Amino acid sequence: MPTLSRPAYGESSKRTAVERTIRNTIISLVKGDITHEQTDAIVNAANARLAGGGGVDGAIHRAGGPEIMEACRKIGGCPTGSAVITAGGRLKARFVIHAVGPVYSDGRHGEDRLLSGAYAASLELALQHDLHSIAFPAISTGIYGYPIDKAARIALETVAGFLRARDGLTLVRFVLFSDSDLAVYRQTVQQIAGDREAQDRRTRGPGD
């Protein structure tokens, strides 16, 4: 008889809907507090000085304890559109990847490229440290003012593009803080899947 094993990535696995898989990687969307995640790394929405702050950054430093800030001070800073990694202190996740997204002004100041860069750099760091699972918040969509629908598309497309090209990750989880943000992400996953199908049909041409 099959036995039920404990979910591999902690409590939130119960809330996990597998939205899609890309090659060998599951992409899941959940609502919750990212500080509770048991993925190998959680991603922080940090600022370029790595100085701590409000939002998810404040929550991560509170839950993880002073070790994380000490490590951030040693690193000193991180350019917008990139990421750095520290140990996870008291968090269940062993690592925190501090990603710096852009402040949104009008969409004409390279915001998309910088936001995409923050996601890609985080994934790159996870692979460099041989990590297999990672949880992201919706970077830049709080204090930094990025419209959630635009940010969701960039987050999901960047991650999908990365996973099509690179092996090593088994789980990428997006942890959304509200029902409405979760709904936007779900809808965006559907839209991206629809866009790809339409593109495939065009590539195959009529009658294929």
Give the contact letters, 36-55, x = binds to ligand AR6 (CB under 6 A), - = no.
---------xxx----xxxx
**156 or 165: CB nearest ligand AR6:** 156
Is 57 a binding residue for ligand AR6 by CB under 6 A? The answer is yes
**21 or 178: CB nearest ligand AR6:** 178
**59 or 168: CB nearest ligand AR6:** 59
- Residue ranges with strand state E in the chain: 17-22, 25-31, 41-46, 83-87, 95-100, 133-136, 171-176
Q: Which of residues 125-164 bind ligand AR6 (CB under 6 A)?
A: 137-144
CA distance linking residue 169 with residue 140, whole number of Å: 24
- Backbone region of residue 103 per phi and psi (left: phi > 0; alpha: psi in -120 to 50; beta: other values): beta
The strand pair at 17-22 and 25-31 is best described as: antiparallel
Task: Determine which one of 57, 106, 112, 195 is catalytic.
Answer: 57
Query: What b-and-e string marks burial along 182-196, b requiring 16 or more CB atoms within 10 Å of the CB?
Result: bebbeebbeebeeee
Phi and psi at residue 95, to the nearest 5°: -130, 150
Choices 4-12, 30-38, 67-75, 119-127 (CB under 6 A): range interacting with ligand AR6 = 30-38
Collapsing DSSP to helix, strand or coil, 163 comes out as helix
Question: Is 57 a catalytic site residue?
Answer: yes
SS3 of 99-116 = EECCCCCCCCCCHHHHHH
How far apart are CB 146 and ligand AR6 at their closest, in Å? 7
Residue among 179, 166, 186, 69 nearest 119 (CA): 166
Q: Which of residues 78-117 bind ligand AR6 (CB under 6 A)?
A: 101
Figure out which of the listed residues 12, 28, 35, 116 binds ligand AR6, where binding follows CB under 6 A: 35
**45 or 93: CB nearest ligand AR6:** 45
Q: Kindly determine how many residues on this chain lie close enough to bind ligand AR6 according to the rule CB under 6 A.
A: 25
How far apart are CB 72 and ligand AR6 at their closest, in Å? 10
Active-site residues, by number, are: 57
Q: Binding residues for ligand AR6, per CB under 6 A?
A: 33-35, 45-47, 52-57, 59, 101, 137-144, 175, 177, 181
